[in-house]
Amino acid sequence: MDGQIAHLLFEDESMIRAYQSLQYNWFPRGQQRKIKTYGKHEGAKLFGTLDYATGKVFYQESESYDAKVFEHFLKSLLTEYPTGQIVVVLDNERIHKAASIEHFLQDEPDRSLPLDAGLCGS
């Protein structure tokens, strides 16, 4: 590898709920109403990336949301982008910093930049 970034991806997660839920609402003091909601306490968790150069969106749906599932998503990215170094821009979500993810990145030295490359903040 020549150290050049082949793919710059921006990643984030989202959860789509299968039920209606009111997060916040305003009522006059002492006049709060009960509002029925319907559906089950289920939903889909989505992991997705946006390719900076092409605008391509790659995503996967999952039933859970943890470091193991995130690692599976990263492995899928390696399949989706079979050549070249990949830089994935992440937020500070806890699953992104899990020890298993650090080990995974160290096991892919030809595909990822060193963790101390200075491309991202803390």
pTM for the predicted model, two decimal places: 0.72
Rounded CA-CA distance 54/14 in Å is: 22
CA dihedral over 50, 121, 105, 72, signed as positive or negative:
negative
Average pLDDT estimate for 15-19:
74
To the nearest whole percent, how much of the chain has pLDDT over 70? 77
pLDDT at 47: 95
pLDDT at 121 over 80: no
Distances (CA, A) of 78 to 50, 72, 81, 85, 105: 14, 10, 5, 10, 11
pLDDT at 52 over 50: yes
Average pLDDT estimate for 55-74:
93
